[in-house]
Every structure is written in C-alpha cells, then in structure tokens.
Amino acid sequence: MTRKVEKTLEEWAKTLTATQLKVARGKGTEAPFSGKFNAHTEDGTYVCVCCGEPLFESEHKFDAGCGWPSFYKPASETVIDEEVDTTLGMHRTEVMCDACGAHLGHVFPDGPPEKTGLRYCINSASLDFKERK
C-alpha cells in the first residue's frame, strides 16, 4: 500500500464536515439508516469523500437491510485496502481507501452468494457520488 494522498488531520478538517472527519479520518461509524447513500439508487460511481478515488460502482450496490450502503465488490481490486479490526470486542475486516487511507467501513462474508458472497458495508460519510452521464 502506497498512499497517493498524505495530509494532516488539520488539513483534512479544512475540507471535510465534522461527520466526514469523524468517520473517514477517525474510523467512526455513522448511525444505521442515517446516511445519504443508504437508499440511493442513481447510476454512477461512489468515490472517496477525501481524495475522489473511484471506489464502488452503482451496479454493484445492493440492499442488505443493514442501514449502510452495501456493495458486493469494489470498483477494482486495487482501490481498497483491508486490515483486521478487533475493536469493540469483534473480529472483522476494516476497509479503507488505498489512495488516502480513509476509513470506509467493513467487509463481511454475508453478501449475495450468486455474486461474490461479500458485503462491503460502507459509511455514506466516507463517500461522494459521481453520476454517470
């Protein structure tokens, strides 16, 4: 993993909202069913709110009923970085933007079995959206 974007927390704070900063740079989690992209169905690409890296395509999004945007695969194999997360007494896999290290959410092995079997459970606060024209 080689980060393309390196900034201090103070520099991120100048371009992100308080919620985006807490989630993307502070590894926080937004409340379920509160994020603007949970029920979002537009056609396009979900990008990193911090650096604009394309992360997920709308055609890979599905309703997992968990309260966060869910995808069965990233836009490419190189845009996501994974790390073991044992916080809160759990054992799970954290996913981050490979370009800037932003915390996106977690990946679980309970996604659509006819696709990849994975569920990338992502915070809306870590995403922006570019509509496909």
User: Domain with 35 in it: what CATH number?
Assistant: 2.170.150.20
Residue 46 lies in a domain: yes
- For 43-69, how does the pLDDT look when each residue is reduced to its tens digit (9 = 90+)? 999 999 999 999 999 999 999 999 999
Q: Is 50 annotated as a binding residue?
A: no
The per-residue pLDDT for 1 is 54
Residue 3 lies in a domain: no
Which residues have a Cβ under 8 Å from the Cβ of 92 and sit 6 or more positions away?
A: 84, 85, 106, 108
Residue 66 lies in a domain: yes
Residue 4 lies in a domain: no
Residue 17 lies in a domain: yes
Across the range 101-118, mean pLDDT stands at: 96
Structural domain harbouring 51:
9-131
Residue 2 lies in a domain: no
Q: Is 66 annotated as a binding residue?
A: no
Domains in the chain, number? 1
Q: Is 121 among the catalytic positions?
A: yes
In angstroms, the Cα distances linking 16 to 29, 67, 89, 125 are 15, 22, 29, 10
From the candidates 104, 121, 122, 127, give the one annotated as an active-site residue.
Answer: 121
Residue 104 lies in a domain: yes
Whether 46 contacts 129, CB under 8 Å: yes
pLDDT level of residue 3 (50, 70, 90 thresholds) = low
Cα-flanking dihedrals φ and ψ of residue 49, to 5°? -65, -25
Q: What is the pTM of this model?
A: 0.93
Token pair recorded at residue 19? 């919620």
